[in-house]
């Protein structure tokens, strides 16, 4: 059991497409367990392996604080297989601290992947579940919420980071 460090923007691992998991072994199961602990410790509802420095296609989610019927689950090699509608929702990200932005997402999606036991899994979601799934799948595809907002908002966030870095360097 370990709480892992969550990488922050602009770390380069966050911008690369993660690799498929070819074999679900004890290392992958431990990663999932550690990601779960890390997500809960950070107060998040989702986490992708790349956010903890492991560029593999593994995500964990627990949207139960916002939607009590959906509890913790992990998916390996998740892919969106169908989507419909559109919704705009304010999102935050553990790797992009102090950034809350409205992001357009698909309203309903269907995702296929593997369970930690290696079984095929299919998850249909709408509402916060669909949003969280898309957010985490974006991560393993090398995308951040900053990639889904306007250039101006992205620059405002980058300038804020530069300003904070200069403050830290003066201390």
> Model confidence over 43-82: pLDDT tens digits?
999 999 999 999 999 999 999 999 999 999 999 999 999 9
Reported in sequence order, the residue ranges of the chain that DSSP labels E, i.e. its strands, are 46-48, 58-61, 73-84, 87-93, 96-105, 108-114, 120-126
d(CA 56, CA 68): 28
Give the start-to-end residue ranges of the domains of the chain.
12-170
pTM equals 0.93
What pLDDT is stored for residue 1 in this prediction? 67
CB 79 within 8 A of CB 53: no
Residue 170 pLDDT greater than 90, yes or no: no
Q: State the fold for domain 12-170.
A: Peptide Deformylase (3.90.45)
Q: What is the pLDDT of residues 20-51, one digit of tens each?
A: 999 999 999 999 999 999 999 999 999 999 99
d(CA 156, CA 122): 38
Residues labelled catalytic: 136
Token pair belonging to 35: 């990601």
Residue 171 pLDDT greater than 90, yes or no: no
């Amino acid at each position: 059991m370990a709480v892992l460090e969550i990488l922050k923007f602009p770390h380069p691992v966050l911008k690369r497409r993660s690799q498929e998991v070819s074999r679900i072994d004890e290392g992958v199961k431990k990663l999932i367990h550690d990601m779960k602990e890390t997500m809960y410790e950070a107060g998040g509802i989702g986490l992708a392996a790349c956010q903890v420095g492991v560029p593999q296609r593994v995500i964990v989610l627990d949207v139960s604080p916002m939607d009590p019927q959906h509890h913790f689950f992990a998916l390996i090699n998740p892919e969106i297989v169908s989507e419909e509608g559109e919704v705009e929702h304010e999102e935050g990200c553990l790797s992009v601290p102090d950034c809350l932005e409205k992001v357009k997402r698909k309203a309903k999606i269907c995702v296929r992947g593997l369970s930690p036991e290696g079984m095929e899994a299919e998850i249909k979601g709408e509402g916060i579940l669909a949003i969280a799934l898309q957010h985490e799948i974006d991560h393993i595809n090398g995308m951040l919420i900053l990639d889904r907002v306007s250039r101006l908002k992205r620059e405002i966030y980058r300038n804020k980071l530069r300003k904070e870095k200069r403050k830290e360097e003066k201390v």
